[in-house]
Each structure stands twice: as C-alpha cells, then as structure tokens.
Amino acid sequence: MKTRPVPLSKSDLMKVESPARYVGGEFNAVIKEDMLEELEKTGKTSYLRFAFCFPDIYEIGMSNLALQILYHVLNDDPHIACERAFSPWLDMDSILREKNIALYSQETKTPLCDFDVLGFTLGYEMCYTNVLQMMDLGKIPLLSKDRGEEDPLICCGGPCAYNIEPMADFFDIAMMGEGEEMILEMSHMIREYKLSKDTDHPISRAQLLKNLDQIEGIYIPSLYEVTYRKKDEVKEGEPYGALLHPLSEGVKTTIKKRIITDLDTCSYPTAPVVSNLRVVHDRSYLEVFRGCIRGCRFCQAGFIYRPVREKSVEVLCEQGRLLEKNTGYDEMGLLSLATSDYTHFPELAENLLSTFEGHHTSLSLPSLRLDSFSLDLMEKVQSTRKSGLTFAPEAGTQRLRDVINKNIKEEDIFSALRLAFMGGWSTVKLYFMLGLPTETDEDVLGIADLAKRIEKLYFDIGRETGRKMRRLDITVSTSLFIPKPFTPFQWEKQDMKEELIRKQRLLKDNLRSRNIRYAWHDFDSSVWEVVLARGDRRLSPVLLEGYKSGLYFDAWDDHFQYGKWLEILEKHGLSIEDFSREFSEDEVLPWDHISVGVSKKFLLSERHQAYSETTTPSCREHCSGCGAASFGVGECFSKRNTMNTEKEDGKNAAE
C-alpha cells in the first residue's frame, strides 16, 4: 500500500499515551490505490474524498457501529474514498498545535482540510466541542459562513442530529435518520459539484446546498433563520418559542427522517476494520434489528428509531460466520435496543452457538428485559463464558415504572432473578434513573428496598436448597433523568442540582450492605447535557467561546468544567433554567421542524398517560397509532394493516 508517512517523528509518538491511535495500518482498512496514483500524477483526483470523523478518542470511535457501516458503504462505491479520523487526546493535541501539523486521516495521513467532505457522527451531546477541536486542528474554518468554495463541506448524522440547532452555525449539512442510502445520494451530488469546478459551468457552494436540500432527510441549517419569542411577549393565541423561517422559496419546511426498509439486503460490514489496540467494545457486532416495540417514555432511541425492522435468522447467521472469519474476534455482540425482543431470538442463539462450537467464540448480550428472561436461553448464550447479568428496572416502585411505561411487574423481576440465581448467577447489575417525572422520596427509597429484597432472595435460595452460594455482588447504578427531544417527556423539567444531590444521598444512606455497591452519575454533566439536548441556535456562540477557552473532552468527567460553562452561558444572557425548565405544551420547540415519524400529538398523549399512571402496551401487542406506520414497513405497519383489516371485516359483517 502506498501511504504518506505519519507526519510526526518517532520521538513525538513516543511522548503520547497511546501511539497506536495515530498510525493507522489496521487490518481491513481500505486505501484506494487508484486515487493515490491519480493524486501523484495530476495533483488532484476524481474521487470524492470523505473523512468520517468521530469526535472522541480512537478507542471509543472504533467501537462505534455507525462508523463501520458507513465506512463500508462509502468505500464500496467506486467513486468515493472514505478514511477515518478521531479526536486526538490532549497530549497529541498539544504536539499538533505546537508543531503546526494538521490533524490527518488514519489511512493516507491526509490533512482534514484536503478532503471534500467531513462527516461527523454525533452520538452524545457532550462531544460537541470535540467537533470544533477536530475542525480547528484540521485547518478548517469553524463557522459555516466563513468557509469558501475550496473548504470541505461539514456534515453530521446520528441521534444528536435530530436537534442540531445548538451546532447549527458549524455544520453545512445535517442528515436525519439512517444514512446508508442518504449518504450516497449526498456524496454523488457533492462529487458532481467537485467535478463541475473544471468545467465552464461550475456549481457554486450556495447552489449545491440548495440542491442538497431536495434530498429527503437532508437539513441545511444555513437556509433558515430562527426567531425566539417568549410567552409574555406575544398575544394570546400567537405562537412562541423557536420559530424557524426558510430564507428562500422551495426550501422544505419539514425535514422527514430516512430509514432503511429492508435490512436483509442492506449493506453490512462483514469485514470491518480491526483495531491494532484494545478498544472499549473489543468484539465484532451483529445488528439484529432496528427500532423498538417498547415505549419507555424517557427513551429517545425507542422513538427516533421506529419502526421495528428485523433481519432474518439466515442473514444474521451468514453475517456472523463471515465476521468471525474476517476479524479473528473471539466474542460477538448481538446489537439492538432490546435484543431479547427479536422474534426468533432462541433460534438465532442456537444457530450462532452451533456455528461457533469448538471455535472459542462467545456471544455477548446487552441489558435484557426482565419479562422475557429465559434461563434456558441464557445458559445457551453464556455456556462458553458465564458473566454477570444486567437488568434495567429504571424505577424502584411499580407506580413509577407505570409512569415511565416500563411495562414490567415486580413479580417479573423476582421470578427472573430466582431462575438466574438457581442457575448459578451471582453477579447482577441494576440500572435506575433518579429525577424522573412525578418521582417522590418513596420511589427513591424503593430502589434500596428492591435491591435489599433481591439480596434476601439470593440467600433464601441458598437456605432452601442447602447449596453453598457464591459471594453475591449487586451493583445499583443510577443515572439522572434527561428530558430528551422526541420523547413523551420532552416537555418535562429537570430537577434542580440540589434536589438531585439530595436524592443521591438519600439512596446512598439506605443502601448499606456488603453485597450491594452503589454507583451514580455526575450531576454537573447531566445538567449541562440537558442544555445541549434541548438547546437552540443561541448556544452556538456559547459553544464556540467555550471551545476557544479550552473546553473540550466534556464527555470525560475529569475534564468537564461546569463552572466555566456556566460563566460563558451567563455572559451570553442565558441560564441553565432556560433549557432545563418545563416547556409549555403549546410552544414551538427548537426541533419541531424535524419529523421522526412519531407524531407530536402521540408524544403529548403519552405524556398525559404518564401523569395518569397508565401504561401503553408494546407495538407487538397493540398498535397505538404513533405514526411510524407511515413509513410503510416494519412491525408497526403490519400490525396497523391487520387492525384495519379486522375493522373492515367487522364492518362488512355488520352490514
């Protein structure tokens, strides 16, 4: 392979924590030799050069499935060369700045400013200023209005893109939804723009952005302006909130997300890039399905990824066989929002375990739903490597579980854990949230009570059976409630910091046992996450000043500086309460111009159901008419068609 040498000396690499992050050369990485030869001969290339950027360190980025999927999709196109780049850690950041070396790609060591497109995946709001770090180190103007015809186009996708308003000043393009088809349509249009520069009729950057606006799922922030109106500044009946206005005719007023309709035929990387060092999730992955049949009212992913679409067992087993062959990993993860909700899960597990028998390859499962737990299934899946169990009751009382629509009963929890303890498991992780809407001290103490009763159950089983039980290890972990866009709780306020601290202390004081450990999430970062998650364009100058003040790697607790962010926010005339407050049900929300398929009317009805402590059944039990059936595919579409047929049959019978 012809590649440029790493633009750093060996002594520079020896000064950093992990040199392997910056040298590339990984197994299955793609370098297009024709492009390099073309560049060498002519100084330019007809390929579209796409840098897929992950705004965190290499070990986290290389664990991201979206990176692997889209890297594979783009490089499968004969006219596109996709490479990867990651946020350099502070030690390398310092060296690059000191030596004035541009941040470069992994594959060909090309400075980011020499690419045609930079595509950022945004999975976590706390990484926003790392986007600015990467652009800055890559020698690219940070504000979209300051970039010219020769500068790369900056685009983004991922769950945070659904409310990209806080970062609107920095991105040229935002992609809503699943990107496999959309990213190719966008890339082909940008390549035409690139090639037109050598013709008599070059396409301008401004015209390109208007053309891209016509692609379904594409949002061009610069084609809109936003005004902000407070409730006390408008007459009764007038809209207030974040009002979006298209700046020219023909610009769409609603951006509808894109989905992949058939996952079986969709491109999937069975020869992903294999890291040279141990990464956060050091295994291969099978994506089992997309979407979720549940409707947990706090969960953004459960709504934005609807409708549910499954892969067939046959396709998954073949992809699993190829992944094992092409990567050498000895562990394979089954990835989805709730893996045990896969319709043919037992069959899939049996087939995969049969395929891997004698290969020392194990299956890894994410958190399981307690109501679908099967000891027999867990025995099959973990027969090669028995590990701990992870459950997410989310709330300590049945009342609050009904409020959030968790749809599990206390008897489900204890019957599942009884089976698990009888089967020899002794390590359990339990995930809960603090600060949920309507939460009382009784609900907080309910978490401690639940953990203690689980502890008692374990030792009762030992006494009943006369068995010598292993040491019990229960970890109770609490995160803090974040009211996210596109959920029934998007209107809710977040508890004040002092109240969240009080609840953490209350729980800690009531969880004193040698068999129970308590872990909690930092409240400062959770407060700031709410600001970014529900923010609007007024935050772009705040983020820019924060980055220039040295505030990045906010996702790392030991680098996050809440006090400095608070000072900058107040300097710009804003406060935490502007974004953590309860939003009115009749105001225009910053993300209302984005359609995820689930209607705002449905989300509002679910909010009202929460306050009446009424649950909504899963999509598999009953179609509640959320709106996702409008995509015409998936489980909810089939369920809705069945319901309509039954209604029509009943009507005809009556007639």
Tokens of 248: 């020219």
Choice between 171 and 424, residue whose per-residue pLDDT is larger: 171
Query: Which of 43-52, 134-143, 344-353, 542-551 shows the lowest per-residue confidence on average (mean pLDDT)?
Result: 344-353
The Cα-based distances of 181 to 162, 176, 193, 403 in angstroms read 18, 12, 19, 38
Residues of the chain above pLDDT 70, percent: 93
* pLDDT at 609 (0 to 100): 98
**Assigned token pair, 80:** 């596109």
Residue 649's pLDDT band (boundaries 50, 70, 90)?
very low
**Which of 225, 255, 281 is the last residue in one of the domains?**
225
Range from 248-252, 419-423, 564-568, 596-600 carrying the lowest mean pLDDT: 419-423
Q: Is residue 634 part of a domain?
A: yes
Domain boundary among 225, 240, 256: 225
Q: Is 266 inside a domain boundary? A: no
pLDDT at 652: 42
Q: Which of 64-73, 359-368, 480-489 has the lowest mean pLDDT?
A: 359-368
Residue 645: predicted pLDDT: 45
Distance CA 56, CA 86 (A): 6
% of the chain at pLDDT higher than 90: 78
Say if residue 635's pLDDT is above 80.
no
- Kindly report the number of other CB atoms within 10 A of residue 147's CB atom: 18
Is 69 part of any domain?
yes
Indicate if the pLDDT at residue 1 is higher than 50. Answer: no
At residue 395, the pLDDT reads 96
Residue 52 maps to a domain: yes
Domains held by the chain: number: 2
Q: In sequence order, which residues have a C-beta less than 8 Å from that of residue 548 and are 6 or more positions away?
A: none
Query: Residue 179 belongs to what H/E stretch?
Result: helix 179-196
**Residue pLDDT, tens place only, 143-178:** 999 999 999 999 999 999 999 999 999 999 999 999
Boundaries of domain holding 622: 600-654
Output the domain CATH number for residue 186.
3.40.50.2300
| Highest-pLDDT range among 243-252, 340-349, 640-649 | 243-252
The yes-or-no verdict on residue 563 having pLDDT over 70 is: yes
What does the pLDDT average to over 364-391? 61
299-306: average pLDDT: 96
Q: What is the pLDDT of residues 62-105, one digit of tens each?
A: 999 999 999 999 999 999 999 999 999 999 999 999 999 999 99
Q: Using one digit for the tens of pLDDT, what is the confidence trace for 238-264?
A: 999 999 999 999 999 999 999 999 999
Q: Is the pLDDT of residue 519 over 50?
A: yes
Contacts of 250 (CB under 8 A, 6+ apart): 210, 213
Give the residue from 435, 453, 445, 441 showing the smallest Cα distance to 516.
453
Residue ending a domain, among 225, 252, 276, is 225
Please write the tens of the pLDDT for every residue from 127-145: 999 999 999 999 999 999 9
Locate 574 and state its tokens: 């804003």
pLDDT of residue 378: 64
Residue whose C-alpha is closest to residue 118's, from 101, 142, 98: 142
* Domain-located, residue 31: yes
Task: Report if residue 20 sits inside a domain.
Answer: yes
Query: Region 3-16: what's the mean pLDDT?
Result: 85
Over 50: is that where the pLDDT of 653 sits?
Answer: no
Closest CA to 205 of 222, 216, 193: 193
For 555, phi and psi rounded to 5 degrees? -70, -15
531 assigned to some structural domain: no
pLDDT per position as a tens digit, 22-41: 999 999 999 999 999 999 99
Look at residue 386 and tell me whether its pLDDT is greater than 60.
no
Q: How does pLDDT run across 429-449, given as a tens digit for each residue?
A: 999 999 999 999 999 999 999
**What are the DSSP calls for 592-629, one per residue?**
TTEE-SS-HHHHHHHHHHHHTT-----TTT-----SGG
Q: Do residues 491 and 582 touch, judged by C-beta distance below 8 A?
A: yes
Q: Residue 8 pLDDT > 50, yes or no?
A: yes
Report if residue 43 sits inside a domain. Answer: yes
Mean pLDDT score, 502-517: 94
